[in-house]
Structure 1
Amino acid sequence: MRIDIGGLRRSFHWAARGVCLALRERNFRIHLTAACYVTAAGFLADLSRAEIAVLCLCFGLVTAAELVNTAMETLCDRVTRQHDPLIRDAKDIAAGAVLMTALFSAAVGLVLFAHPAPIRAILTKLTQHIWIDALLLVSVPAAVAFVFAVEQKGELK
């Protein structure tokens, strides 16, 4: 049995290209930024490995839904720029998939974080470790710049 490493490498290249294209979309950058901060909060809250894994699964679902939504919007825009009720419905349904995964992921976050133990753990670490506060102060402006960066629609190789 011969394995086509070149074909596998190319498929990963095109998949990475798709993620890079999605990075041009503000909502995708919002989801990635939220995932980073919630993951950091999970470690600060001393969540278990299983709880961190659940958070990662939620982030994967939301970002995958956002990728599918972006692909749907791109394809629909290619088909026609004219108002078409079916195109509008397709785009709205794809956006609805993102909304549903984001809402249920937020619900998971509430279940994991909205009780005294994780909140106490986060606040304790923030008050005892100045480097965490400094990292937070530096990262927030960088995150805002990342999320609201000007979107460029040029060709990606």
Structure 2
Amino acid sequence: MKEVPHACAPPRFTLAARLKSFGYAFEGIALMLKTQHNAWLHLIATTLVTGLAGWCRVDAGDWRWLIGAMAMVWMAEAMNTAVESLCDVVSPHYSLAVKSAKDLAAGGVLIAACVAAAIGVITFWPYLGAR
């Protein structure tokens, strides 16, 4: 007799399913870049930081800080975009609770961006001061 999977059982691991999930993730990143103006600012900042780090020839330890800071901002922006999208579906009309959720998510991006900027200043200061 064939065993029927339980409704709450996790789906079976397959390579095809994992590859498909990467596709969904890339679709999400593309959607964020298409619909969020601030994502373009993050892309410009990421490009400038990467270029400056290459020009300054930062060492591996400093690259780790810069990559971590950039990743933190991108993750915060992705979560903010997800919160905003979900809120717009759940409550298409004005709601104080939805406004609070959106403001909190945007505040998370602002915190991440400010911390990333501080990490950038601390990281680049010795390199730029030496030039």
User: What's the TM-score, normalizing by structure 2?
Assistant: 0.85
- Counterpart of 1:71 (choices 82, 88, 98) is 82
Look up the match of 1:6: 16
Identity %: 32
Name stretches of at least 5 consecutive residues in structure 2 with no aligned partner.
1-11
- Counterpart of 2:58 (choices 43, 47, 69) is 47
Higher relative contact order (CA 8 A, sep 6+): 1
Look up the match of 2:29: 19
Look up the match of 2:105: 94
Look up the match of 1:128: none
Per-residue deviation, 1:23: 0.7
Per-residue deviation, 1:120: 4.8
The Cα offsets for residues 75-133 of structure 1, whole Å up to 9 and x where unpaired, read as: 10111221111100000000011000000000001101234x42554xxxxxxxxxxxx
Find the aligned partners of 1:73 and 1:12 in 2 and give their Cα distance: 22
Q: Which runs of 4+ in 1 moved over 2 A?
A: 117-121
Count of matched residue pairs: 119
Name stretches of at least 5 consecutive residues in structure 1 with no aligned partner.
122-157
